[in-house]
Amino acid sequence: MSKITTSTQWKQLEEKAAREDSSKIKELFSRDPNRAEKFSIENGKLFLDYSKNPIDAETFQYLVSLAKTSHLEEQKLALFSGKKLNVTEDRPALHTALRHPDQLGSLPTPPLREEMLRERQKMSTFVEKFRDGLLLGVTKKSLTSVIHIGIGGSDLGPSLVTNALAGKQKIKISFVSNVDVTELNKALMTHDLESTLIIIASKTFSTSETLINARAVIREMSSKLGKSEKDILNDHVVATTANIGRAHDLGISESKIFAFWESIGGRYSIWSSVGLPIALAIGFDRFCNFLAGAHQMDKHFIEAPAEVNMPTILALVGIWNINFLRRVTHAVLPYSDKLKLLPDYLQQLEMESNGKQINKAGQRLDFPTAPVIFGGRGTNFQHSFAQHLHQSPVITPCDFIAIAKDQQTPNEHQDCLLSNCFAQSEALLLGSDCESSDATKSVDAHKSFDGDRPSNTILIDEFDEKTLGALIALYEHKVFCQSVIWNINPFDQWGVELGKNIEGAIRPILAGGPGSATQNGSTRLLIERVKKLRS
């Protein structure tokens, strides 16, 4: 049994959760109609209303006390002072240093600090040249559009933020992530290749999907433009990576490599050179605003006591729902197309960080950790999976995310988005009894809603690069707080390795190489069937 589950605070919370009224939110509102004012918090231009959760003042105190007994304050300091928190990979997690607006704060220490400043400067110069039309392709046309190749943390962040912030910017950027050739072909067909910059983004530069796509794009460009692959590499290709050696091996010269470091996790790398497509799309100054927004959330996270700390509160609400009320799914529901990729981004952030079975002490965990994250944009999800959220016996806590003022969206559309957003959380909370006569009882039962379904609402006053930076940092720190309470390492991802190894053995067999399938009978059958169909 892990230590935290034997703590007084855990026991208090378990006892509280066992009470019959533990999940009744409506009752909390009838007892205190003003509870939204008490159970909400503001930071910068973000407002979090967590009052539609079954949390009263006592539960809240127990949760805060749980955070304290888990040494959250010490762990926060350890994160921000560069301690090696990623114990299984023997490295710190330095993503917060990257978004210090001026000189990276006091971290990291030299020589990494100088390297970070140098890379930031290199990126800034490159962005300026690109946006001024000074970078030329093999046919001497200015590079004006981008095909970005990467997957996981090397895709989800750049595509989320570029999609959210680029607006009507004239730079066309296509993101190619899957090794299925559809995205790649579409990009190759719709870009003027003479004026296209290729960014190959990969922390390890060994991810097979990314390398296959990278080699394919270089080959295609060479053939379509009638130039050598070497020329294409020289004039059209750059890399963002922590593995300079492997980028070299592909033929990319040092001046075209934008480095980041082992201590920056892939899903935390948006603040590094992995943010290059964002900066190309919106300019380096606005990219710095994005970093500054995240830094502002960092400051709040490090300075504010747990009771009034937005990421900590979001984490604790999650802990209550997951560990004590056993709600192990979680929906992310942004009411803005600007944030339509947020559910995918948070799926990796939360599930790859905290989807773990062993704690830092090497003990097997005896409680659920990261919930199953899924989601979609409002209002579209209302016409697909909302039914499940409202009436399934599986209760899914939701995060509603909405923009209060959005100048790019006409009032009629914006009002419709916001009223739907507020209506959904209200419906989940209140439910509705369908009064019925005996004759109609059986039908009316289908029309009833229990209510008491929990949700948070994050209202963004105004959407811009700063608020987006703050929003992403908010979730990063939420994930960190939960990892501290669960005592797990959120910065490794060993669970993705086994599948990669097995894939490495299967692909040569499918490719017709020597050797026969030695896998489990089911897998072998599938492999043999494909081979037979192909022969």
Known catalytic residue: 500? Answer: yes
Cβ closer to ligand F6P: 62 or 261?
261
Known catalytic residue: 383? Answer: yes
Scanning 326-464, the segments in alpha helix (DSSP H) are 342-354, 386-391, 411-430, 441-446
* Least distance CB 314 / ligand F6P (angstroms): 23
Residue nearest to ligand F6P (CB): 152
Buried b (16+ CB within 10 A) or exposed e, 433-450: eeeeeeeeeeeeeeeebe
Cβ closer to ligand F6P: 172 or 248?
248
Nearest Cα residue to 374 out of 355, 352, 396, 391: 396
Rounded-to-integer distance, Cα 271 and Cα 202, Å:
14
Q: Does 424 bind ligand F6P (CB under 6 A)?
A: no
Q: Does 75 bind ligand F6P (CB under 6 A)?
A: no
Which stretch in 74-82, 149-157, 305-313, 371-379 sits in contact with ligand F6P by CB under 6 A?
Answer: 149-157
Amino acid at 156: L
Residue of 76, 91, 99, 267 that binds ligand F6P (CB under 6 A): 267
Interface with ligand F6P (CB under 6 A), residue total: 14
Rounded-to-integer distance, Cα 138 and Cα 222, Å:
10
* Least distance CB 34 / ligand F6P (angstroms): 44
Cβ closer to ligand F6P: 204 or 357?
204
Rounded-to-integer distance, Cα 85 and Cα 83, Å:
6
Hey, which residues between 484 and 503 contact ligand F6P (CB under 6 A)?
A: 493, 496
What are 510's two structure tokens? 């499918």
Nearest Cα residue to 44 out of 310, 316, 332, 345: 310
Residue of 125, 190, 204, 223 that binds ligand F6P (CB under 6 A): 204
* Least distance CB 210 / ligand F6P (angstroms): 5
Which stretch in 26-34, 146-154, 415-423, 463-471 sits in contact with ligand F6P by CB under 6 A?
Answer: 146-154
Residue 196 forms beta bridges with which residues?
Answer: 145
Residues in the chain: 535
* Least distance CB 470 / ligand F6P (angstroms): 22
Known catalytic residue: 352? Answer: yes
Rounded-to-integer distance, Cα 346 and Cα 424, Å:
21
Q: Does 202 bind ligand F6P (CB under 6 A)?
A: yes
Residue of 9, 51, 70, 154 that binds ligand F6P (CB under 6 A): 154
CA distances for 104 relative to 97, 120, 300, angstroms = 5, 10, 17
* Least distance CB 86 / ligand F6P (angstroms): 12
- Helix/strand/coil for 56: coil
Cβ closer to ligand F6P: 195 or 202?
202
CA distances for 335 relative to 231, 389, 414, 462, angstroms = 45, 16, 9, 13
Q: Does 153 bind ligand F6P (CB under 6 A)?
A: yes
* Least distance CB 173 / ligand F6P (angstroms): 18
Q: Give the x-and-dash track for 323-362 against ligand F6P (CB under 6 A).
A: -----------------------------x----------
* Least distance CB 155 / ligand F6P (angstroms): 8
Residue of 64, 98, 151, 176 that binds ligand F6P (CB under 6 A): 151
Q: Does 152 bind ligand F6P (CB under 6 A)?
A: yes
Cβ closer to ligand F6P: 210 or 467?
210
What are 378's two structure tokens? 């409002």
Beta-sheet strand order (sheet of 40-43): 40-43, 46-49, 455-462, 398-405, 329-334, 372-375
Amino acid at 241: T
Nearest Cα residue to 9 out of 59, 70, 65, 73: 65
| Active-site residue, from 15, 500, 503, 528 | 500
| Active-site residue, from 140, 168, 383, 446 | 383
* Least distance CB 499 / ligand F6P (angstroms): 8
What are 121's two structure tokens? 């400067």
Cβ closer to ligand F6P: 265 or 454?
265
Rg (CA), the chain: 25
Q: Are 75 and 85 in contact (CB under 8 A)?
A: yes
* Least distance CB 193 / ligand F6P (angstroms): 24
Q: Give the x-and-dash track for 367-406 against ligand F6P (CB under 6 A).
A: ----------------------------------------
Within 8 A by CB and 6+ apart from 91, the residues are 84, 262, 263, 491
Nearest Cα residue to 95 out of 264, 212, 261: 264
Which stretch in 199-207, 303-311, 320-328, 385-393 sits in contact with ligand F6P by CB under 6 A?
Answer: 199-207
Rounded-to-integer distance, Cα 178 and Cα 182, Å:
8
Within 8 A by CB and 6+ apart from 473, the residues are 99, 293, 294, 295, 297, 298, 301, 311
Rounded-to-integer distance, Cα 152 and Cα 135, Å:
28
Which stretch in 105-113, 129-137, 198-206, 382-390 sits in contact with ligand F6P by CB under 6 A?
Answer: 198-206
Binding residues for ligand F6P, per CB under 6 A?
A: 151-154, 202-204, 207, 210, 266-267, 352, 493, 496
- Active-site annotation, residues: 352, 383, 500
